[in-house]
A and B are shown apart, each in its own frame.
Chain A
Amino acid sequence: MSTQYLVSVAHRDCHESDIFSICCSQYGVFTTSGDGSIKFWTYRHPADINTNPADGATVAGKGSKLESNDSKLGYHHLGISPNQQFLGAASFTGALQLFAISAPADDTKPPKLSSILSPDDSPMKECIENYVWAFQLAEYDLGHDSGSLPILAVITVDHQLTVFDLEEGSQIASWSVKSKDSRKGYPICLDVSPSLGLVAVGDDDGTVHVYSLHTGRSLLSLTGISRKAIRSIKFSPDGTQIAVAGDAGSISIYDVKDAAGEQVALLNGHGSDTWVFSLDWSSSGDYLLSGGYDGNIKIWDARTTECIATHSEADHSSAIFSLQWTPIGPRRSYQGFVAAGSDMTLRIYRLAGQ
């Protein structure tokens, strides 16, 4: 790949403690942290910073703190709906807060968030106010030209994977994610493949579970050799493959088409004792982004399994907790990716020459 990425801007001290999660939208990037706030940052180099953008300016965090009900215990997961209308934030209390996003008037302003309440007495309300660990907002393709249904998939502290109809608050499917030894295991991460109607869960005991929304059944259960915790799990954009990473340091890609469950690639590059916290496929499915405990960000060619770039702008004693490609959508004006973690710095990378 002849393309190169550079740090466009590094916002230092964006939050008062670990940045556990970032979430890219078509407007800009949302960040959240153990400090309990949600902030917004534009992709573009802020015009009021008087440095040559090519140098990759480091600036004191100039994001916008969004008006929301701050979580006293801090947030650990963020997610946005594919239609860019809803944002979710999960806090350490076990509550998931949902917000409606109002688009900003222009590119220089942040979007507005307003709290939305789940339908009263719905199964979703009971669940998301108390027991959420990680979640994903997605669209479930109903097929046969019936359009798609906005859904919320959550994994809970009591080892359940539940999928809700986001608007009705009703339950579409629910599975118990338990190890044979019920004292062990804890579901850490999940992902939804809208096209194939699959939900995947990565567990602390090293197991990957894949469930089908179409049949309501468990489709696959993949047990890694290492039995080490799985911290990130991502379906490829076409839904046929799944990338899995965690404490083993390597990234495995499995074929999930026709419930094959075959490992098709193993990407080695992060150290074997590096925890990989975050993965993201590029929208074409050609490249995979990964970041972890060693502070390194790697870009992989998914076809050749080669690591084509390593970014180590973060200090090696700090971890990358969350990273994501900027989305390609109707308002696309920026190509790159965003990463953040324990050094409390948000780094926005752009395609060289852009």
Chain B
Amino acid sequence: MSSQLRGTNARGQSKRSILKRLLGQKAYLISSLKNSRELKIGDYSFPGKTESECRQFTMLLFLLNTAIECLENGVTVTRRNVYYQNVELFRSQYAVDLSLKKLGEALKIDSSLTGIVPGSKGLVIGALRLKCVHPECEVDCSEITVLPGKPVEAKLTADLDSILIVEKEAIMHSLVESGYHQNNRVILCGKGYPDKATISLMYILLHEIEKRPRVKVQIAVDADPHGLDILRVYLRCVPQQYYNRIEWVGSKIDHSKASEVISCTEGDRKRAINVLSTLVDNCNSEWHNHWQSKEWCTQLQRNLFFNAKREMSINDILLGARNV
């Protein structure tokens, strides 16, 4: 447990000092209860004047207890998990995030050190070691690894042939089962729209391969407006000098896959038009000239013209990678 408590923040707070403050608050609440005094966490009191004040206090209390549990046991829990532990109370993910911020302000503590962490979604596998600062750790990624936080450094432990970014976790698992990652390949998965940690790792890896012109970063997303928008989010974060290192390997809607498609929904159609507009509005910008944007627009137009979309399959990637 001691090693877990070592991390300190800019204000000089350590996990140990935060735990102390949290326990102090808990003891204060218990004594208030015993002495029939009003319960208070900072400016928030119980029972408040309205139902919403009452609910706000309950959320803070829930988070206080969760944070104490995490710090005492040296574990972390994601904000997403906290939300699922009491959906009825929080009602939205946003309420968890906001209440955690309020708890931090009320107790004057750094809420990022409470052990309640933003859910990291990114997954990575390959011959590399990652170094993170929040939380401070170094992890080996020879197995599928959840990014512990925003990585600051990636050390390649073997030669590297290519880096593959996939939209879906299921595809990543299938690829790993087929041994795809064993041929000096790194696979990164953002599980839908990538979070900051995933984007940071992509950025670090791009920097890492700067002196290895052979190595490409391939991106595989679904052949639907959602997937093509995710592709846009990744590309938006790629610095200009790396455009020629990025390849979009699918999936696409084409003639051999006619039986694999499903109909678009109303939402798909709206999103397709939005993404298409965004691409066209950017058609004079640098990345548009460097990149396969014409084919990209065509895919979105086909989503609309066919009223059809297609999920990526592992074969798209295996065949796409072979063609390179």
Residue ranges of A at the interface with B (Cβ–Cβ < 8 Å): 16-18, 20, 34, 72-74, 76, 92-94, 157, 183-184, 186, 188, 204-205, 229, 247, 273-275, 293-295, 316-319, 321, 342
Contact = CB atoms under 8 A, between A and B. Distances in A.
A37 B300 CA distance: 17
B297 A293 contact: no
B79 to A, nearest CB: 32
Contacts of A34: 297-298, 301
Given A275-B258, A293-B255, A183 B265 contact: yes
10 contacts: A17-B301, A72-B280, A92-B304, A93-B277, A184-B263, A186-B264, A204-B263, A204-B307, A273-B259, A295-B255
A76 B264 contact: no
A149 B304 CA distance: 32
B263 A16 contact: no
B67 to A, nearest CB: 42
Size bracket, chain B contacts: 20 to 34
A319 B259 CA distance: 15
B307 A73 contact: no
Interface in B300-316: 301-302, 304-308
A73 B277 contact: yes
B307 A74 contact: no
B254 interface: yes
Contacts of B259: 273
Contacts of A93: 273, 277
B297 A74 contact: yes
A318 B307 contact: no
Nearest to B279: A73
Contacts of B254: 317
A229 B307 contact: yes
B297 A17 contact: yes
A74 B94 CA distance: 39
Contacts of A293: 255, 258
Chain B contact surface mostly:
helix
A351 to B, nearest CB: 29
A272 B273 CA distance: 31
A139 B171 CA distance: 53
B273 A73 contact: yes
Interface string B244-266: 00000000001110110001111
B128 to A, nearest CB: 38
A18 B301 contact: yes
A274 B307 contact: no
Contacts of B280: 72-73
B19 interface: no
B288 interface: no
B301 A76 contact: yes
Contacts of A73: 273, 276-277, 280, 301
Q: 10 shortest A-B CB distances, which residue pairs?
A: A34-B301, A72-B280, A273-B259, A17-B298, A293-B255, A204-B307, A186-B307, A273-B258, A73-B276, A204-B263
A325 to B, nearest CB: 23
B269 interface: yes
B294 interface: yes
Given A73-B276, A73-B280, A293-B258, 8 more contacts: A18-B298, A18-B305, A73-B273, A74-B297, A92-B273, A92-B301, A273-B258, A316-B255
Contacts of A76: 301, 304-305
Given A18-B301, A34-B297, A72-B280, A319 B263 contact: no
Contacts of A318: 255
B319 to A, nearest CB: 14
B255 A319 contact: yes
Nearest to B301: A34
Nearest to A319: B255
B65 to A, nearest CB: 42
A76 B307 CA distance: 12
B100 to A, nearest CB: 37
A71 to B, nearest CB: 10
Given A188-B307, A293-B258, A18 B263 contact: no
A133 to B, nearest CB: 9
A74 B301 contact: yes
Contacts of B264: 186
A18 B301 CA distance: 9
A342 B266 CA distance: 25
B235 to A, nearest CB: 19
